[in-house]
Amino acid sequence: MLTRKQHELISFIQNRLEESGISPSFEEMKEALDLKSKSGVHRLISALEERGFIRRLPNRARALEVIRQPEGAVAKPARPAPVLAENVTPLRPQAPMTRTPANDVIELPLHGRIAAGMPIEALEGQSTLPVPAALLGAGEHYALEVSGDSMVEAGILDGDFALVRRTNTARDGEIVVALVRGEEATLKYLRREDGMVRLDPANAAYEPQIYRPGEVEVQGKLAGLLRRYH
């Protein structure tokens, strides 16, 4: 038999999943149940998980699945069947669309701002950024906060979060995270010209940067962007 708070929590999670497809955050669960701390939410989730009511999806943030409802839970009423006019052929029901669960969120390492004099390695493991898995493809990814306006004409603004697929190779014309002389991390278009490496900005106010091949190390390719609106 579940406690009142356990009932409230599983109902809150199920309702949120049905409404938006995204399981609520621990902060949202804490506020909804009027708890004083997130540790109370952790205890409730662990208890529900042990009893087989919910489960956590591995390697995903905010990924909870309701396996079964408590006895006595009221199911939502089914929608009435549509009434068809005479001589109208009903459409065949389509197969359900396959989609990535909206609550499939991945915590990417957030290495900090791309700024002069700050190698990416020096920023490893500082914090994480929750990112919808649908924005990412295969491979290992990390996030960087963009500093400056050198890529505005490519739609990359100051304060955006660049989602980067980790790689040390790239083709001409791709936007890369380049580490210059082992010191300065920058986000630019990569081009090779006359045996040199050219890092092109996307802003007419800035000049291309030209280096010898050994001075530039590709540390990733741009895979996507996240922008916060305040």
Do 157 and 226 touch, CB atoms closer than 8 A?
no
**76 noted as active-site residue:** no
Long-range CB pairs of 122-126 (<8 Å, 24+ gap) are none
Check 23, 30, 147, 188 and give the catalytic one.
188
Q: Which residues pair with 32 in a beta bridge?
A: none
d(CA 149, CA 102): 32
- Is residue 188 part of the annotated active site? The answer reads yes
Give the containing element (helix H, strand E) for 204.
none
End-to-end Cα distance, the chain:
44
Q: Provide the pairing of β-strand 105-113 with 141-145.
A: parallel
Q: Do the beta carbons of residue 211 and residue 182 sit within 8 Å?
A: no
- Residue (of 145, 182, 187, 150) closest to 170 by Cα position: 187
**Active site (catalytic) residues:** 150, 188
